[in-house]
Amino acid sequence: SFIARKDLDSEMSVVRNEFEMGENNPSSVMLKRMQSMLFDWHNYRHNTIGARSDIENVRIENLQAFYRQFYQPDNAVLTVAGKFDEQQAVKWIVASFGRLPKPTRELPTSWTVEPTADGERQFAIRRKGEIQLVTLAYRTPSSLHADSDAVAMASEILGDTPNGRLYKALVQPGLAAQVFSFTVDARQPGFVVFGAMVKKGESLDRVRERMIEVLEGGFADDSATTAELGRAVDQARTAYERALADPEVFAVMLSEYIALGDWRLFFLARDQLEQITPAQIDAAASKYFVRDNRVLGTFIPEDSPQRAVITEAPSAAELLANFKPQEKGDAGEAFDASPENINRRTDLPSFGALKVALLPKKNRGQTVNVAIRFRWGDQDSLRNRAVAGGLAVAMLARGTSQLTRQQIADELTRLKVNGDLSHFETTRDHLPEALRLVAQLFHDASFPAAEFEELKRQTLTAMQAQLDNPQELSRDALTAHFNTYPPGDPRYHAQLTERIEQLRQTTLEQVTAYHRQLIGTARGEIAIVGDFDEKAIVDELKRLFPEYVSRSPYGRVDREYRKVDPQRLVIDTPDKENAFVRARLDLMLRDDDPDAPALYLANDIFGGTTGLSSRLLDRLRQKDGLSYSVGSSLSVGSRERLSTWTFAAMAAPQNTNRAEQAFLEELRRARADGFTAEEVAEAKKGLLQARAVERSQDGAVASRWVSFLDLGRDWQFSKDFEDKIMALTQERVNAAFRKYIDPEQLTLVVATDVSKGNAN
């Protein structure tokens, strides 16, 4: 790479825009401040993206020197994972990377050792915002240290939701809306953070005091239990198993262990889980979670010494001297993910109004994905019940007549379920039980009053946190402008303030009535893709779901195309460092119309996300340096002749006008001059590759089958659509873009701090 001056000139403002995006997020700002307070000397005190002044003023010579120093073969790791020819891959790697010369310089070594902490620290962030945060952080030893596993388990026992001690001490009694925890592990000593989100206007003092009590005195007064440790170990073990079953995730995770010193540390960490004891957890907590090792931070929206001596960790070679990893799992089959083979391998049984797609195949790790969409209600029975319906579904996993929320969470962990009730992954052995649990949650939800109030608090806090968010406000305003149905209609989009008020007024009785009168599992679609016993699963599905019929009649609630007059809306978001520009155009188009493939391809060239380049990306990011994230999207209707084309770009407030004008200029240029033959050819290639990747992912295949079942289609429709794309001419693509994408009919929304720019 040249690392040229001209690239820095445009990229600087893009990176600065990314920095500004983080400045809008209270949690992101809190982490930056926390890092700077945790470390005095080590570079971990610096957030990766750096300070605004560094971004704006860095010299090209410094970047070039950094590139030459660190972007070298002896400081890089190449990991190839997935289905490939190993010998051919090695040849390609040798051909591409083998010719790089061995560097003559030596990599610098780090000699800075952070001193032992000598007293608690406290700081407050006061900014405009809609939520409050209380965070406590403690310095922890290296990931190679003998105490690291016990520290991680202690953190999980304390910070987990809904089983953790902090959750039970803060969320359940209503002191906080949400708690969280995370660790930062590395070769050098890192840290662990615990936090609580508190509704604006409520007291932080009791939350802060209770957190300190639980974190610093909890294990001394109440030792870690075998059940707590078992739950934490199960969750960690499941995470390792999921990683091993997914080549992409495993490759990324493996690189972190390579950074620690050796890739085999991944397996060492996994195998050592079984050796951790409650006593080790108690000891680790008492050693590191102490007053003098604490940093406390609060985010407030508004207009003797207890040393923690961290001893030296052993080397990776010492840790691995007598280590032998456990044997690997099943490799799975080499599955042909073509549309024809997916159709051929899938069985389509049905049980009355419940349609099913079953695609059994051998998978690495015996994984299986399930996609479910049950259907209930009609336009009348769903009227004025959007919020109650959302809460009813959210309450399904919070208790049944036989299981508490914690017991449900424990079951989901035991069954290795990753996801939610509508789409989840598990394993072959656990799929039957997982389906039984899903059926139980739908059929036997008990709607505990305490859980309902907790859910309302959490949802309300999350919604209020978006009241000054430019991204959410711009999206909300744009969607509301396209309301063509009256309030209460199931198709009506209530704005954020409306939804907040509706949430406040929704009662538990309304939610239970929704479940009692509407929810059923006898109508809908279920798709299962992966490693499973088909005959056994057919029997389970037949027994579990078809008999639970909704008490209300079902009627599809379709949307229809209605013309909406174009408008330009400006939303003032004072004191926000980031802004959003959006546009939308509704179209009378369906995915089986002759123009659909051409417009689909045209959008990909103009602003799509399947490739590394597009007209919008090249202009607003690469050339003008105005936006970190920019693109357009086409959502094509499959049943109704109604499609939506949208544009979105983030920018600094002072650059919103330029971003808007650049978008309109590129739009008019595309209509006037059209797309080139080369762009059309590259877009075809990129789209087909993206769709091939999608077909290789079981979760995506299951989701697509659910849609196909509803529409009475199969993967032949997908194949035909791809064939139509490949047959498109340059003229056909340009004609479709000119026909449908009219800049004069666009509705534009700009959400920005008006005082920092001339958005009007």
Residues 343-369, mean pLDDT to the nearest whole number: 96
Residues 177-205, mean pLDDT to the nearest whole number: 93
pLDDT for 609: 73
Residue 82 has pLDDT above 90, yes or no: no
Please tell me whether residues 214 and 247 are part of one structural domain. Answer: yes
3-state secondary structure of 162: coil
Rounded Cα gap, residues 384 and 376, in angstroms: 15
Please tell me whether residues 248 and 130 are part of one structural domain. Answer: yes
Rounded Cα gap, residues 520 and 533, in angstroms: 26
Please tell me whether residues 174 and 297 are part of one structural domain. Answer: yes
Where residue 419 falls (left for φ over 0; alpha for ψ -120 to 50; beta otherwise) is: left
Please tell me whether residues 420 and 458 are part of one structural domain. Answer: yes
- pLDDT bracket for residue 760 (50, 70, 90): low
pLDDT for 248: 87
Residue 610 has pLDDT above 80, yes or no: no
Average pLDDT, the chain: 94
Residues 26-38, mean pLDDT to the nearest whole number: 92
> In sequence order, what DSSP letters do the residues of 21-63 get, joined into one string?
HHHT-HHHHHHHHHHHHH-SSSGGGS-TT--HHHHHH--HHHH
562 occurs within a structural domain:
no
102 occurs within a structural domain:
no
CB of 717 closer than 8 Å to CB of 538: no
Residues 461-473, mean pLDDT to the nearest whole number: 94
Of the listed ranges 69-78, 326-335, 365-374, 713-722, the one predicted with least confidence = 326-335
295 occurs within a structural domain:
yes
Rounded Cα gap, residues 155 and 183, in angstroms: 8
552 occurs within a structural domain:
no
φ, ψ for residue 673, nearest 5 deg: -100, -20
409 occurs within a structural domain:
yes
The whole-model pTM stands at 0.85
Residues 154-158, mean pLDDT to the nearest whole number: 96
Please tell me whether residues 140 and 87 are part of one structural domain. Answer: no
Of the residues 284, 319, 354, the one at which a domain ends: 319
Residues 6+ apart with CB under 8 A from 391: 452, 455, 456, 459, 503, 506, 511
Please tell me whether residues 228 and 299 are part of one structural domain. Answer: yes
563 occurs within a structural domain:
no
Please tell me whether residues 163 and 293 are part of one structural domain. Answer: yes
Could you tell me what percent of the chain has a pLDDT over 70?
99
**Domain, as residue range, for 51:** 5-97
Number of folded domains that form the chain: 4
- pLDDT bracket for residue 329 (50, 70, 90): low
Burial degree of 7 (CB within 10 A; 0-12, 13-18, 19+): middle
> In sequence order, what DSSP letters do the residues of 679-700 get, joined into one string?
HHHHHHHHHHHHHHHHHT-HHH
- pLDDT bracket for residue 759 (50, 70, 90): low
Which residue pairs, CB below 8 angstroms and at least 24 apart, start in 411-417? 411/437, 412/437, 413/231, 413/234, 413/235, 413/238, 414/234, 416/238, 416/241, 416/242
Q: Per-residue pLDDT tens for 633-680?
A: 999 999 999 999 999 999 999 999 999 999 999 999 999 999 999 999
520: CATH:
3.30.830.10
Please tell me whether residues 404 and 487 are part of one structural domain. Answer: yes
Please tell me whether residues 387 and 525 are part of one structural domain. Answer: yes
Please tell me whether residues 578 and 513 are part of one structural domain. Answer: no
Of the residues 62, 97, 132, the one at which a domain ends: 97
Of the residues 64, 97, 130, the one at which a domain ends: 97
415 occurs within a structural domain:
yes
Which residue pairs, CB below 8 angstroms and at least 24 apart, start in 417-423? 418/238, 418/242, 421/372, 421/393, 421/396, 421/397, 422/371, 422/372, 422/373, 423/369, 423/370, 423/371, 423/372, 423/699, 423/702, 423/703
Q: Per-residue pLDDT tens for 100-136?
A: 999 999 988 888 899 889 999 999 999 988 899 999 9
Please tell me whether residues 511 and 646 are part of one structural domain. Answer: no
Rounded Cα gap, residues 701 and 541, in angstroms: 19
**Interstrand relation of 579-587 and 524-530 (parallel, antiparallel or unpaired):** unpaired
511 occurs within a structural domain:
yes
Please tell me whether residues 492 and 356 are part of one structural domain. Answer: yes
Question: Smallest Cα–Cα separation from 583: which of 560, 616, 605?
Answer: 616
Q: Per-residue pLDDT tens for 409-443?
A: 999 999 999 999 999 999 999 999 999 999 999 99
